[in-house]
């Protein structure tokens, strides 16, 4: 599916302390992405705190984004939920409202087996009709997709791509090769984890699902364009330049850091949903220093 290649930008979803989405603040963030050249917008991903929002607020966020983008940038929308029937309803909402595709993670309290995850995905795909991207995010779901399971799911009608966490640079080629051997030809293999994404793209990854691009699309696009031009040295130079931000992402989580960035830049003053707390002042000052050093503020 061509929309699930290239750069997908994942913004936060500004909301108040009661979990009500702020459409005006969301529009401000989306305005930075519309027309930037990103290939898609990843709405309500982990950075978009989908797991903390009610069905009604997810609909409000999607309605706002569809209006703000006006069809100019495809929307990939998080539809993960604890229950399969709830995920089906969320995917049906996204399909009916006009999202291009859904991003589905195997969210669970009880650890899931491969067969349970397969049935969950197959049911959501079948009953919603929404094209789905497999969301492999073991850091939050505590479930890891192996190549065999990805290969099984890649043959389910309506499951059209996979988003994996980018391995360490020395392991990305092997990871890609294992997935390529398991999935049908042309099935897009994309990566998240901004600090390793450049190497994943250089190795042949089809997509970068990017947190940093949700605020700074130009920085992500510059790396992607260098890779597409065959200039791995330039892509690595641009990636190395972003190292102060990557280090902060790894130290404090990209979610907390991008909330601090948005606040420091005056784009919106939302806090992450509780129990997640904003960064303490010393860490905020480190973020501010990185923004100044990178000339991103």
Q: Average pLDDT in the 20-24 region?
A: 98
Half-sphere exposure of 11 (CA within 13 A, CB side): 28
Which CATH number applies to 2-231: 3.40.50.300, 3.40.50.620, 3.20.20.70, 3.90.1140.10?
3.20.20.70
| Three-state SS at 191 | strand
What does the block give as tokens for 200? 């994943």
pLDDT tens-digit map of 268-294: 999 999 999 999 999 999 999 999 999
- Among candidates 258, 279, 269, 295, which has minimal Cα distance to 49? 258
Q: Average pLDDT in the 98-108 region?
A: 98
- CB-based contacts of 18: which residues, under 8 Å, 6+ apart? none
- In this prediction, residue 2 carries a pLDDT of 64
- In this prediction, residue 272 carries a pLDDT of 97
Percentage of the chain surpassing pLDDT 90?
98
Model confidence at 19: pLDDT above 60: yes
pLDDT tens-digit map of 215-260: 999 999 999 999 999 999 999 999 999 999 999 999 999 999 999 9
Q: CA 188 to CA 162: how far, in whole Å?
A: 7
What does the block give as tokens for 49? 């705190």
What does the block give as tokens for 135? 């969301």
**Centroid of chain to Cα 284:** 23
Q: CA 166 to CA 185: how far, in whole Å?
A: 21
Q: Where are the beta strands (DSSP E) in 98-158?
A: 101-104, 132-135
- CB-based contacts of 175: which residues, under 8 Å, 6+ apart? 164, 167
Burial of 244 (0-12, 13-18, 19+ CB in 10 A): middle
What does the block give as tokens for 34? 């519309």
φ/ψ (deg, to 5) at 177: -65, -40
Mean pLDDT of the chain: 97
Which sequence spans correspond to the domains of the chain?
A: 2-231
Query: Is 5 annotated to bind ligand?
Result: no
Catalytic residues: 135, 163
- In this prediction, residue 3 carries a pLDDT of 75
Model confidence at 297: pLDDT above 90: no
Q: CA 195 to CA 210: how far, in whole Å?
A: 10
């Amino acid at each position: 599916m061509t929309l699930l290649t290239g750069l997908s930008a994942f913004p936060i979803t500004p909301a108040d302390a009661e979990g009500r989405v702020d459409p005006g603040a969301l529009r401000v963030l989306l305005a930075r992405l519309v027309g930037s050249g990103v290939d898609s917008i990843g709405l309500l991903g982990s950075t978009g705190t989908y797991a903390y929002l009610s069905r009604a607020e997810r609909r409000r966020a999607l309605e706002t984004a569809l209006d703000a983008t006006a069809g100019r940038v495809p929307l990939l929308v998080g539809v993960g939920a604890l229950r399969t029937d709830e995920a089906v309803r969320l995917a049906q909402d996204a399909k009916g409202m006009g999202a291009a595709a859904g991003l589905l993670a195997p969210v669970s309290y009880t650890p899931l087996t491969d067969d349970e995850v397969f049935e969950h995905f197959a049911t959501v795909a079948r009953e919603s009709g929404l094209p789905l991207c497999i969301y492999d995010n073991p850091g939050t779901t505590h479930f890891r997709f192996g190549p065999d399971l990805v290969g099984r799911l890649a043959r389910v009608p309506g499951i059209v791509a996979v988003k994996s966490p980018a391995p360490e640079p020395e392991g990305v080629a092997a990871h890609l090769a294992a997935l390529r051997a398991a999935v049908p030809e042309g099935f897009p293999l994309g990566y998240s984890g901004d600090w390793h994404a450049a190497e994943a793209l250089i190795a042949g990854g089809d997509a970068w699902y990017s947190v940093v691009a949700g605020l700074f699309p130009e920085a992500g696009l510059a790396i992607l364009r260098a890779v597409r031009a065959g200039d791995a040295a330039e892509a690595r130079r641009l990636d190395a330049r972003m190292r102060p931000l990557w280090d902060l992402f790894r130290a404090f989580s990209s979610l907390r850091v991008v909330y601090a960035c948005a606040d420091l830049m005056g784009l919106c003053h939302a806090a992450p949903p509780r129990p997640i707390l904003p960064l303490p002042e010393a860490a905020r000052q480190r973020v501010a220093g990185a923004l100044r050093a990178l000339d991103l503020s």
